[in-house]
Amino acid sequence: MIRAVANRAFRSAPAARLFTPRNALCVLALLATPLAAHAASPLGLSAEAGLSADDNVGRASDKWGDDRRSDRIWNAGLSASLPVSLSEHTRVALLGFAGEEKYASYDKLTHTYYGVQGEFQYRASGEFGAPTYGVVLRSAGEQYKSDLRDGFRYAAGLTVRKLLTDRISSFASLSYLRRDGRSAVFDTREISARFNLDYSLSRTGTLYLSGDLRHGDAVSSGRAALAYIDVAKAIVADDAFESAGFYAYKVNANTLIGTLGYNVAFGAGHAIDLSLRRAQAKVLGADLRYTANQASLAYLVRF
């Protein structure tokens, strides 16, 4: 039965599509070249290195607790930002980034990533509390050690930023997220509504809280189970958990991701960031859900 569902899911896609994440990546990169000549300030360079502990890297269902797999994850990344002023009230913020995430035990989840982001921003006035509205496009490529997960991600959305007090700032976004992987299981589509609050406790310390509610495709890896087969959009044997004989299932779900963190700056352009993240997903049409918890510590530096 699993093979039959998988075969139905792997029907070939059209040979050519005009709008793909790869094309979006190229378009943003091409736009960045002429805009850079009108940059409002010099190129901002940042780097980070960190370590995370995740108690459910396969996003296995809570129904079978022994399917959960934990791991330690090392990450390192570089980014470059460039604000470009267009008028008194508008600007474009360009961002390029690249990095790698290395998994200690499940090596096929290890991957490199790279991408670009462009955001058009509008602010009606320079008065305190005036909101800044934005339209953002983002595209990123991913190269995994898993043969199934290579591909591209992109996002398109609307954003708003607002200072609530001299210590509290807010951010909200509504986005469409898409991922194209080698396997149909990792071709996903989601709608994301996100909200974030930053609270400056001192000149150097900032406490932040964010929530991200997503509706759409989610991927969960675990045992061959009839409960998943009945609702899965696509199924494939997961090569990242080959020794456990797990399958990866694409399902329709509501997912809530919450993050609590603290960022403390020291020296010139240096900071330490500690965060706790929890993800909860409920599969629609079935009595299935998963939870995952991640603790992260990162060192950040700006040049």
Of the candidate ranges 29-38, 111-120, 225-234, the one whose mean pLDDT is the lowest? 29-38
Radius of gyration of the chain (CA): 21
**Chain centroid offset of residue 14 CA:** 27
Higher pLDDT, 18 or 48: 48
Mean pLDDT of 182-191: 96
* pLDDT exceeds 80 at position 60: yes
What's the confidence (pLDDT) of residue 12? 35
Compute the distance between CA of residue 133 and CA of residue 278 in angstroms, rounded to an integer. Answer: 28
Compute the distance between CA of residue 212 and CA of residue 196 in angstroms, rounded to an integer. Answer: 9
Question: Against a cut of 0.75, is the pTM above it?
Answer: yes
What's the confidence (pLDDT) of residue 267? 83
Compute the distance between CA of residue 273 and CA of residue 44 in angstroms, rounded to an integer. Answer: 19
What's the confidence (pLDDT) of residue 30? 52
Give all strands (DSSP E) within the chain, no chain letters: 44-54, 71-85, 90-103, 111-123, 132-144, 151-163, 168-181, 188-200, 205-222, 234-237, 247-266, 270-283, 289-302
Compute the distance between CA of residue 207 and CA of residue 263 in angstroms, rounded to an integer. Answer: 6
Give, in order, the Cα–Cα distances in Å from 271 to each of 73, 150, 169, 284.
Answer: 20, 32, 19, 41
Span 74-132, pLDDT tens digits? 999 999 999 999 999 999 999 999 999 999 999 999 999 999 999 999 999 988 889 99
User: What are the extents of the domains in the chain?
Assistant: 2-302
The CATH architecture assigned to 2-302 reads: Beta Barrel (2.40)
Tokens 């990450």 correspond to 75
Span 261-287, pLDDT tens digits? 999 999 889 999 999 999 999 999 999
What's the confidence (pLDDT) of residue 34? 55
The answer to whether residues 77 and 52 touch, using CB atoms and an 8 Å cutoff, is no
Cα angle vertex 115, ends 23, 38, to 5°? Answer: 90
